[in-house]
């Protein structure tokens, strides 16, 4: 059976993508059991950020709570490191250009918070412009439909 997914341009690529504190769009997880955020860092060899994942109670969000997640880093070519568990406090990206990070969150981690929405948060640690962006890929749909409903709120 073909598995459907839904791709969201969660943080549009820009020249100084991670300046200050940045949040992705708030994403509704009601129709999916898994989400993967993909952070792409292009030019900008010095800037770094601390990455966390927040469960949100609504679309504002009125309340948020940081939740644990898993991630993988790719700092050379297309070779990813080991899948690593991250506490709710997150992890820091590595200085360097042309990198990818995959952030994995299952719906049970989100459900443990009691909230149904999610976003990724990046807080700049080393201030130096980094060209980049973030996409989100929602998988394991609860209802198989070729064209899923919008997940952006």
**Whole domain around residue 89: which residue ranges?**
6-141
- The pLDDT tens digits of the residues spanning 51-78 come to 999 999 999 999 999 999 999 999 888 8
Total tally of structural domains belonging to the chain: 1
Nearest to 150 by CA among 35, 11, 6: 6
Is 148 a member of any domain? no
pLDDT at site 77: 83
Q: Residue 134: which CATH number?
A: 2.60.120
pLDDT at site 1: 38
Provide the 8-state DSSP code for 57: S
- pTM of the full predicted structure? 0.90
Residues of the chain below pLDDT 70 = 1-3, 144-153
Could you give phi then psi for residue 141, rounded to 5 degrees?
-65, 145
């Amino acid at each position: 059976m073909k598995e459907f997914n839904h791709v969201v341009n969660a943080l549009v690529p820009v020249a100084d993508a991670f300046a200050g504190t940045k949040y992705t769009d708030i994403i509704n997880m009601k129709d999916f059991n898994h989400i993967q955020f993909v952070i792409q860092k292009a030019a900008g060899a010095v800037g770094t950020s601390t990455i966390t994942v927040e469960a949100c109670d609504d679309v504002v969000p009125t309340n948020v709570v940081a939740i644990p997640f898993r991630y993988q880093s790719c700092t050379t070519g297309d070779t990813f490191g080991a899948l690593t568990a991250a506490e709710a406090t997150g992890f820091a990206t590595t200085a360097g250009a042309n990198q990818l990070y995959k952030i994995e969150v299952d719906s049970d981690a989100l459900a443990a918070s009691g909230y149904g929405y999610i976003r990724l948060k990046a807080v700049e640690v080393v201030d130096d412009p980094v060209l980049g962006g973030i996409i989100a890929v929602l998988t394991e749909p609860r209802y198989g439909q070729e064209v899923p409903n919008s997940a952006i709120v």
